[in-house]
Structure 1
Amino acid sequence: MNSALHRIAIGVIAVICFIGINGAAYAQILYGSIVGNVKDSTDAPVPGASVSITSRGTSQTRQTTTNEAGGYSFPTLLPGSYDVTVVKQGFQTVTRSGVEVTINSVSRTDVMLEVGIVAESITVSEGAAALQTDRAEVRAELQSRTLQNIPLPSGRNYQQMFVAIPGFSPPADASSIPGNPSRALQVNVNGTTSNSAVTRIDGASSTNVFMNMVSAYVPALESIETVNVVTNSFDAEQGLAGGAAINVQIKSGTNQLHGSAFEYHTNNKLKAKPFFSPPGERKAKSIMNQFGGTLGGPIRKNELFYFVSYEGTYNHQFAAKYQTVPTAAIKSGNMSASPSEIYDPRTGFSDGSGRTPFPGKQIPSSRIDPIAKKIADLTPLPTYPNLLTSNYYAGKPFYFDRNTVDSKINWNASRKLSMYGRYSFLKFDSIAPPTFGDELGGDAISGANVGHGFGFTQSLTIAATYVASPNFIVDAYFGYTLMDNHSEQSRLDEKVGLDYLGIPGTNGPRRFEGGWPRFSITNYSVLGIKDAYMPYHRHDSQSQYVANGNWTRGTHNIRFGVDVYRPILNHLQPEFFGASHGAQGGFTFGGGPTQVRNGPTSNQFNTYSAFLLGLPTAIGKILQVDDRYSVITMAYSGYIRDQWQLSPKVTLSYGTRYEFYPIPRRPDRGLERYDFENNKMLICGVGAVAADCGVSVSNKLFAPRIGVAYRATDTFVLRAGYGITYDALNLARNLRSNYPIILVQNLTGVNSYQPAGSLQTGIPLMQPVDFGNGIIDVPENYAVVSLGDKFERGYVQSWNFTLQKKLAGGFTAQAGYVATRQVRTMGHMDLNVGRVGGGNASRPFNRAFGRSTSTILIAPIGTTKYNSLQTTLERRFSGGFQLQASYTWSKTNGICCADVGTGSPLIMIPEYYDLNRAVLSWDRPHSFSLTGFAELPFGQGRRWLTGGVASKLFSGWQVNGMFIAYSGPPFTVTSSGTSLDAPGNTQRADLVKPEVKKLGGAGRGQSYFDPLAFAPVTQPRFGTAGFNIVRGPGLVNLDCGLFREFRLREGMQIQFRAEALNATNTPHFGNPGANVSNLQLNPDRSIRNLGGFTEITSVRGTGREGIDERVFRLGLRFSF
């Protein structure tokens, strides 16, 4: 039986290796290694000594012999605790017990032999390695003990611990619940874009294929053994990550049976009142339960082991938020409260000049569009009628339920062969009603998309390691992740725009084209469908085949490998990047139609007047031709790396990666490419058009890596490293929906003062396009996105110089200079933006082809520079307590303010492009964190109160906490772009004071900074204020807890937990309103109404499931 299973296992690993070799490699990331030098009492090396290791959890053993320099190496070890035994004739046998091995790490265990007989033995207990002695990368590790003892915020997501690692921006909420059901957090690391951080779970890539700035799956906290994080100077085997390589290891079973059960609970009675709740408002219902358990142990002792965990998260609450709605007077057309006149668009000239105002600032009832009136009548009146912004408080019930399972099987098939398999599964369901109810729609009441979200995620890894000889080992694995996510808005089965409102051209015949159209009135909350990309049904998968070899020869440890990575995007989602309107159609109302040229800047009275008149400044719709579309991407890479022990004190690691990224394709053909010279779309692979449309990509992407570690003394290490990583941006996200797969119709006026059409005439009909011979015309008002004829991937250079010192009392200090350069950062460049004062007529492709809409080239937008000092003081768990303090001083600047590879510079007119240079939105000059936990020294076996009643009362207590402090993020003060009249560009305000004074106000009617330091721009030019010259509020937070453990019997205990999240109830304010055109002044330039400008009306999304106020969480955990 065993031999048959052995043969099957050999076959499996052979197949995986074959596929991997024929298909970037990081399988060592699944494993760790033990290295060391053996010497005698005179410091002379001892060659030929027998060194063996034994896993304390599974009893698996390996053996090798020291080389001529006395060195030894055990690469490709499964994580765990090992005993290292050294035997040499003429010397006493030495055993170093409890050597800890973690993923993607090197544990150094040097051994000194004393003269004696082999039968005499010395055993020394080891702890976790305090110094990083053999690798030059910048790294950190989060162990299960830390994750289980630090009070993590709502959801208990391990990614919240990234605040303890230097170089990380504060983790932030990302996307909606249906789009990101694991609630993975978004981070920027060492100044790089957020899509540069890549997560792998037991080797399998866990990147969200579509939203690649977050992970596809977040394992349950209790299932995690270790999280290994590398942020700079990556080893050659680590690819596809330029900001951070995050490697998560799921727990494994051992020869001992272990398990746990837990329950965590919060409710509104355990919460403080949210900062922005209305006065007198009762705390709304909020109940969150998280519960589950784990179990692991042997199926067959020393050979076959299992581990399984389950976690359920149920979040039910009555959610609320502020919205901006018109007052009764404004709804009726009475604009008398406006500080400036409301102009009649039927008067004057086509350029907006010469217009006359409506008498008394009143829109005549006869001029109010009947469709607009119907929508206005559905719009609720303000809860706070004396306010013009954030004046309506909406509340609705919301729920989000999620169930997660993680499981793992480990098999020691023989002394040479070991295998494991992991399977993880998540299922979710959520309901988020719109703020204005189904009658009017609007934004989701919570962090979900509007309506019903549902779906599942699954992830698996199959891995194997074969020890061909003590100095040659091969390993391979297969990884697979699937996200199946769905989100449907309310009233999807009704044609609200066509049948109820009577607007031509809105809803189509298919179900996903139903529901409300989108109505965006500048300075007001959106009505109808908020998100133009709804609904969506995504079925995105990714698979990997990896094979590696490890060869040890003398003082060289050579590792090499290959990898093929294949993500597939499969969507029903009518969306185009930057489009303001979706499958139901939509209308945007700016203030231009009711302004006069060179007159006062637009305000919310102008925009609502344009709405009442039924005169949108932009009209649009998306037609998805087929019910689904797909994009297949491939990435091939290989590497070779030599880790060379130059001497007992110096380790040199050097190597290179090679990567190749062919152009993505559709299942039956290539993609599409726009011909910028002739206004034609090339359908790749159709007719005589080449499958790659002639787009060339580099086949010379070599990425060198080098690092050196110098062990100056047993307590002091110096490290330096440098490396290049190519940007692994998946172009499927950029190119998935394009003409003629998706028809994106955008209509705008001839200039910013003219409407694009009217509600009465609606949206022109759209018809699918025949591919013909593969070269088709592009209508002038349809948006496109394309590669050029040559695509050059960007890359990240990273380097560091770091000192690490072991101090007294078990502390370790580290300080380093850490830097990155993200060269040729990818983004969207609209080549068809208007020029200053020229309106649509000045768009380059308008003059050439009559095109008046976005014409986007995917191209490099610039270089991001990051420099930092990163420091850490750490004491790993010993003697009952653990502590870590981290501080980073840094600066990040570049082209403002694109992130994740799909953003755009704010100004895209070539002669003004340098105005984009600024500190970036994720720049945080100062960041500090302090985390730790301590068992109080009372009770039996402790220092004090060791017996009697006092021992029973005070034993088993533990305190823990996490404190963070970050500088505030920068933001830009903007102005209305009407007078700029340069479509596609962002207008900046004028800076009119030499200094912008911080006032520190928060809440409606309170200014965070001096509102009179800026002024709106009313001429056709860019404002004088730079981008990101003002900083928002900083982030300070304390989470702490008090635990009490009761021992039921030997090896079995139950723990009560009381945790205070945001213990000081400090609000984490978002940035203030930053559009100076919303500011309303009296004739004497005193402030009449802030209009939201300089006002802080919300808290920042810090990954706390939308709960910012103080929360007390109660928990119970049983373990054995």
Structure 2
Amino acid sequence: MNFGSTKKISAGTIVIAFFLLAFFVFTKPAQAQLAGASLSGVVSDESGGAVASAKVSIKNVATGDVREVTTNTDGVYSAPNLSPGNYEVTVTANGFQTTVQKGITLTVGAQQALNFGLKVGQLTQTITVNEAPPSVDTTSSTVTATVEQRTVVELPLNGRDWTQLATLQPGVISVRAQASTGATANRGNRGFGDQLADSGHRPNENTYRIDGININDYSNGAPGSVLGASLGVDAVQEFSVVTTNYTAAYGRTSGAVINAITRSGSNQFHGSGYFFDRDKVLDARNFFDGPKIPPFRRTQFGGSAGGPIIKDKTFIFGDYEAVRQSQSLSFSDIIPSAAARAGNLCSAPGAGATCTPHTVTVDSRVAPYLGLWPDPTKVTAIATQNNGDTETIRTAGLKVLNENYFTIKADHKISASDSLNGSYFFDKAPQATPDNLNNNIHQVFTKRQMFGIAENHIFNPALVNTARFGFNRVVGLVNQPVRAVNPVAGDTNLGISAGLFAPLIEVSGEISSAGGLGNLSFFGHHYNSFQAYDDIFWTKGKHSLKFGFAFERMQYDVLSKVRQNGDFRFNATSVTPLENFLTNHPAQALLLSPAVRGEVGTRDSLFGGYIQNDWRLRSNLTLNIGLRYEILTDPSEAHGKFGLLNSFSAPAGSGPCPNVFPNAFGPTSVPGCTVPVGSMWESNPTTHNFDPRIGFSWDPFHNGKTALRGGFGLFDVLPLPYVFTIGDSLTYPFSLSFSQRGLPAGSFPNVLPFINPTAPGTRWVDQHPHRSYAMNWNVNIQRQLTSKVSAQIGYVGSHVVHNAFTTDDSNQVIAKLINGQYFWPIPVGSGTIANPNSAFIRPIFFDGTSKYNGLQAQLAARDLHGFQAQTAYTWSKCLSDGDGAQLGDPYQNSLSSLIFFDKAGSRHGPCDFDIRQNLSVNYLYSLPSPGGDSPLKWVAGGWQVGGIITASTGVPFTVVTGADPLGQNSSDQFDYPDRVAGCNPINSNFKSIVGLTYLNASCFQLAPPTANGIRMGNNGRNQLYGPKLVDVDFSVIKNTHVPRISEAFNVQLRFEFFNLFNHANFQAPLDNNTLGGSLGQIDATTTTSRQIQLGVKFLW
């Protein structure tokens, strides 16, 4: 690796290339999709001949806005980028009767085909069709589904998170092994939003858009607050989930595109007020709860309103929603007993005790820190342990959340050919949490903002331009210190150095750890995205053309403070760890270097352009052909501080790295040392990002009721800033720790004279990565069975190559490859790690692959005598070489440091989010009401039921050996065991076994040593699957219309039940997957127990 001759792409080169692309695009235009919808079709006479120059008027029923287009010589018309909503279309032509089609619903991103057959007659004669046209998409090969407003606002949603509804579609699942939002650092550093996987793609390969503006968070994941939810259900008009083979208009992603549209005002004033409440008195006890249900209270309230400012011209809509939540926390803690605090140890020896009562002198420098643990004389002990030295107590705290969300949208019709709309949302959610000893309050905090503005200009009926500008800002603070509850925890006189609070004190295995304010690792995420888009639609003969460009400037800053107050560890020697603490005999001290500020700022820009042509070859056959080009600039650091290893390994005898400590680093010829770099790589892999996409849609019966579709395309997996930034913040030169073992007696807490810097944690990045992209394909058939029922079934596949792959530590002994298998040296631990100059190496390789094959089917019914429903089923298989891009362990079932050099062996296996079978059913049914105006109608009328039913197979997980039987000598080692042949590892009757033991421990054993060395076991990654999941959510709604107030006024009472039958959906044993006494024991559920939410809404 030669950093002195890096090959970079200059900004000027990028600009020139971009304008060359723009020139090519503007000379050969094309078409695709935006957040709006497109309506197109053919107007013909009774003999099937084309009717040219027919006038097609498309009217938005809510706003009165009319778009007029004219058919060409082939009888084709096209109206692109229409606002989603309800429409009626009027077709007029000389010599023919006027035809009016009502009941047309255009959904976000849809390409709706609507053909007209005109009858000879006078224009004054009108034929009106009230029945909705067929809902089958006969012009696009894209696999997409739309969630309409009624579904969004009326299905039962726990937390009222609209992104949950994406999982109602085939191929989309919520990753069941994602960390709980309660696990603050674990979840916050991975993004708080619900992690969704689509058709084998990683969750951070999806794109989320509101009104055409990207709102992904800093992890490139789903938007979400501290609760993991995206509020604003009542502000969403509808949203679509585009899962595979979308057109060239979509970039930045290879996974799903989730498009939401904010509600707009209309010519009629409309609005709502709502209040939802959840309380523990209505909830069932979780399987793992104690005798009493922990206190819990959540209220969600708010209101929305919209209407005209100027009729038919200017409209406004706004929504506000608040969440107030308090949750009781219960902790079990071990503290020093009163006797031990006085120096009287082993004061209560039990039968067979190995200790003798004795007295020690508590060191005067230790005594002030005993105040970090509760006074045992003022609390009630559950039990006395360890021969009287410690006591177990229960402590309680209250986790409090106050979230406020609001959004506003304005639409303005400038003229018949110009319209403007803009939207803004703001969401702020601080959550304060005490630590287990009630010493300190720490805060988890999220703040999200999005602004977007779009201008739509109609040059003529065949040429339309849409320009959009947007800004997305996300702030996530994890474990931010707020205040000290215990004065001892807030005393800076107890810090290791000036301005610090008491360090974290770990007394190994004997008492609960304690420390001053800020003893938790803090991470601050700040992400900004500036966006600009332009799309031109052009109808030319049988071609619906579109072309455009995209620009995005990304700024991602992370500030990390790990062990910011320091960390002292007291271990067992000839005496107990507690005695060593009391007498001031520390085993180890760790301290973050005050000379290094762990703040990294990644900067990157995206340029994209595309051409798209939807070519109607015949009236029943459309080809979708597109090409996209998308490039990222070389990532840079805001302060010019990127540093990478100049060589992954440091050969024996190469010597230590010069000029590394405390904070200076420079060019060096010593292999395996960190050197400054201007960018993350020498060659930019995105310069070759040409993405051809092709598909077809065929209506074999010429009636719009059947579509056979298929498509194939390339979709780039871009190395966006999330891939690098958080890992950089934990490595040199952004982070440097001091560590010292073998400290002299009495050195606590004045450790600075005795402590030395450790080898730094370092970063290595593949300097010549290959382009990372996905090949996605599908073949499917959709059929409208009746006017209200449709079905679809298809095969969906993908193959991703050169995906980013990282581990938390790859600085390990490199095994020898013998006859296709890796072996580690004997005796165990005798090998040498790759780079002794590094404490750990957090690398990024671009060698990950994944494959997905799935059968996806759905059956949908709409407006069927008050009943609507959708059934989605997926049968699939996903395999990969690891699923971590920015962190080694993105999910609870991930292995954080897979063997990077053993891609085909130890790394390969089922994806962490592989769910082999998944069934989802959702429905709404309005019960028949009695007729007339009798009191019976008031009581028995207006009832509605709805629900979501989910059933799926279990999630994959891995059994590991624990310790380091291979002798990898890394900070994050692991090994697989061997599976005993013929032994069934799953206890099918685990529910009746004490401890809910899911695994048969006798089926696993350590791999035996061989003459070649020690090999890894054969029970590889994700070879086992956890229990299945069955969940039923149900709602009962009572609508009461009050015409005395207004014709539209409705009082809605809601009763919502989550996990209606209180089914215990057990999680896989993710916390107990290590060989030992607790192997296979399940200690958590995947879903909540039954929870009941009550609500009232006022609608007008």
Q: TM-score range by the shorter chain?
A: 0.7 to 0.9
Query: Structure 2 matches for 1:332-371, cutoff 5 A?
Result: none
Deviates more, 1:1019-1028 or 1:24-33: 24-33
Alignment partner, residue 1086 of structure 1: none
Query: Structure 2 matches for 1:974-1053, cutoff 5 A?
Result: 974-982=960-968, 983=970, 984-992=972-980, 994-998=983-987, 999-1001=989-991, 1005-1015=995-1005, 1021-1049=1015-1043, 1050-1053=1047-1050
Match for residue 100 of structure 2 among 76, 95, 100: 95
In structure 1, the gaps of 5 or more residues are 1-16, 339-357, 442-449, 575-580, 595-604, 750-754, 769-777, 941-945, 1080-1089, 1103-1107
User: 1:738-795 deviations in whole A, cap 9, x for unaligned?
Assistant: 655423337598xxxxx89999578986999xxxxxxxxx986101124233233421
Alignment partner, residue 839 of structure 2: 853
Q: Classify 1:462/1:518 alpha carbon distance in 2 versus 1 (closer, same or farther; 3 Å).
A: farther
User: 1:131-165 deviations in whole A, cap 9, x for unaligned?
Assistant: 12211122111111001111111x11012223311
**What's the offset of the Cα at 1:364?**
9.8
Q: Does 1:922 align with 2:932?
A: no
CA distance in 2, matches of 1:316, 1:459: 28
8 A Cα contact 2:43 2:71, kept in partner: yes
User: 1:67-86 deviations in whole A, cap 9, x for unaligned?
Assistant: 23221110121222222111
**What's the offset of the Cα at 1:673?**
2.9
Q: Classify 1:377/1:732 alpha carbon distance in 2 versus 1 (closer, same or farther; 3 Å).
A: closer
Q: Does 1:834 align with 2:843?
A: no
CA distance in 1, matches of 2:963, 2:89: 70
Alignment partner, residue 1094 of structure 2: 1114
Deviates more, 1:646-655 or 1:315-324: 315-324
Q: Indicate the SS of the match to 1:630.
A: strand
Q: Indicate the SS of the match to 2:1042.
A: strand
Alignment partner, residue 238 of structure 2: 226
User: 1:1010-1051 deviations in whole A, cap 9, x for unaligned?
Assistant: 233334679765344322222222221111111111110122
CA distance in 2, matches of 1:959, 1:291: 22
Alignment partner, residue 13 of structure 2: none
8 A Cα contact 1:291 1:313, kept in partner: yes
Q: Classify 1:290/1:766 alpha carbon distance in 2 versus 1 (closer, same or farther; 3 Å).
A: farther
CA distance in 1, matches of 2:753, 2:242: 50
Q: Classify 1:611/1:649 alpha carbon distance in 2 versus 1 (closer, same or farther; 3 Å).
A: farther
Match for residue 456 of structure 2 among 445, 459, 465: 465
**What's the offset of the Cα at 1:992?**
3.7
**What's the offset of the Cα at 1:29?**
2.3
Alignment partner, residue 884 of structure 1: 870
CA distance in 2, matches of 1:896, 1:590: 36
Query: Structure 2 matches for 1:229-244, cutoff 5 A?
Result: 229-244=241-256
Alignment partner, residue 12 of structure 2: none
**What's the offset of the Cα at 1:1056?**
1.0
**What's the offset of the Cα at 1:583?**
2.0
CA distance in 2, matches of 1:1012, 1:367: 48
Q: Indicate the SS of the match to 2:402.
A: strand
Query: Structure 2 matches for 1:280-295, cutoff 5 A?
Result: 281=292, 283-295=293-305
8 A Cα contact 1:1016 1:1076, kept in partner: no
User: 1:323-345 deviations in whole A, cap 9, x for unaligned?
Assistant: 899999999999x999xxxxxxx
Alignment partner, residue 6 of structure 2: none
Match for residue 119 of structure 1 among 124, 140, 143: 124
In structure 2, the gaps of 5 or more residues are 1-17, 651-656, 669-674, 815-823, 890-894
- Partner AA of 1:1065 in structure 2: N
Alignment partner, residue 688 of structure 2: 700
User: TM-score, normalised on structure 1?
Assistant: 0.81
Alignment partner, residue 1055 of structure 1: 1052
Deviates more, 1:119-128 or 1:638-647: 119-128
8 A Cα contact 1:268 1:287, kept in partner: yes
8 A Cα contact 2:695 2:712, kept in partner: yes
Q: Does 1:407 align with 2:398?
A: no
User: 1:85-107 deviations in whole A, cap 9, x for unaligned?
Assistant: 11111111111123222221111
8 A Cα contact 1:1004 1:1096, kept in partner: no
Alignment partner, residue 599 of structure 1: none
Alignment partner, residue 697 of structure 2: 709
Q: Classify 1:990/1:329 alpha carbon distance in 2 versus 1 (closer, same or farther; 3 Å).
A: farther
Alignment partner, residue 577 of structure 1: none
8 A Cα contact 1:631 1:666, kept in partner: yes
Identical columns (%): 25
CA distance in 2, matches of 1:67, 1:1112: 58
CA distance in 2, matches of 1:133, 1:828: 42
CA distance in 2, matches of 1:766, 1:410: 67
**What's the offset of the Cα at 1:361?**
9.1
Q: Does 1:315 align with 2:320?
A: no
Q: Indicate the SS of the match to 2:1019.
A: coil
- Partner AA of 2:460 in structure 1: S
Alignment partner, residue 544 of structure 2: 557
- Partner AA of 1:29 in structure 2: L
Q: Does 1:817 align with 2:795?
A: yes
User: 1:203-240 deviations in whole A, cap 9, x for unaligned?
Assistant: 22111124646557834110000111111112111111
**What's the offset of the Cα at 1:975?**
2.0
Q: Classify 1:174/1:313 alpha carbon distance in 2 versus 1 (closer, same or farther; 3 Å).
A: farther
Match for residue 211 of structure 2 among 189, 202, 217: 202
Query: Structure 2 matches for 1:539-938, cutoff 5 A?
Result: 539-574=526-561, 581-586=562-567, 619=590, 621=592, 623=594, 625-626=596-597, 628-669=599-640, 671-676=642-647, 691-692=678-679, 695-698=682-685, 699-713=687-701, 714=703, 715-732=705-722, 734-735=724-725, 736-737=728-729, 740-745=732-737, 760=747, 781-808=759-786, 810-829=788-807, 830-835=809-814, 836=824, 842-846=831-835, 850-896=836-882, 898=884, 903=889, 906-908=897-899, 910=901, 914-938=905-929
User: 1:527-557 deviations in whole A, cap 9, x for unaligned?
Assistant: 5589987334443221101112111110111
User: TM-score, normalised on structure 2?
Assistant: 0.82
Q: Does 1:957 align with 2:943?
A: yes
Deviates more, 1:620-629 or 1:719-728: 620-629
Alignment partner, residue 184 of structure 1: 193
Match for residue 41 of structure 1 among 37, 42, 46: 46
User: 1:690-718 deviations in whole A, cap 9, x for unaligned?
Assistant: 74376210311111111111112232111
CA distance in 2, matches of 1:275, 1:520: 32
Q: Classify 1:182/1:1024 alpha carbon distance in 2 versus 1 (closer, same or farther; 3 Å).
A: closer
Q: Classify 1:238/1:867 alpha carbon distance in 2 versus 1 (closer, same or farther; 3 Å).
A: same
Q: Classify 1:300/1:717 alpha carbon distance in 2 versus 1 (closer, same or farther; 3 Å).
A: same
- Partner AA of 1:158 in structure 2: W
Q: Classify 1:359/1:257 alpha carbon distance in 2 versus 1 (closer, same or farther; 3 Å).
A: closer
CA distance in 1, matches of 2:59, 2:964: 73
CA distance in 1, matches of 2:917, 2:907: 23
Q: Classify 1:222/1:174 alpha carbon distance in 2 versus 1 (closer, same or farther; 3 Å).
A: farther
Query: Structure 2 matches for 1:65-464, cutoff 5 A?
Result: 65-127=70-132, 130-153=135-158, 155-170=159-174, 176=181, 179=188, 184-210=193-219, 212=221, 214=223, 218-279=230-291, 281=292, 283-320=293-330, 378=373, 383=382, 395-438=396-439, 451-454=442-445, 456-464=447-455
8 A Cα contact 1:695 1:787, kept in partner: no
8 A Cα contact 1:1001 1:1095, kept in partner: no
CA distance in 1, matches of 2:897, 2:295: 41
**What's the offset of the Cα at 1:871?**
0.9
**What's the offset of the Cα at 1:807?**
1.0
- Partner AA of 1:1006 in structure 2: L
Alignment partner, residue 3 of structure 2: none
Q: Classify 1:382/1:1029 alpha carbon distance in 2 versus 1 (closer, same or farther; 3 Å).
A: farther
Q: Indicate the SS of the match to 2:564.
A: coil
Deviates more, 1:37-46 or 1:1003-1012: 1003-1012
Q: Classify 1:809/1:384 alpha carbon distance in 2 versus 1 (closer, same or farther; 3 Å).
A: farther
Q: Indicate the SS of the match to 1:742.
A: coil
CA distance in 1, matches of 2:1057, 2:109: 34
CA distance in 1, matches of 2:98, 2:454: 35
8 A Cα contact 1:21 1:546, kept in partner: no
CA distance in 2, matches of 1:757, 1:706: 71
Q: Classify 1:278/1:198 alpha carbon distance in 2 versus 1 (closer, same or farther; 3 Å).
A: same
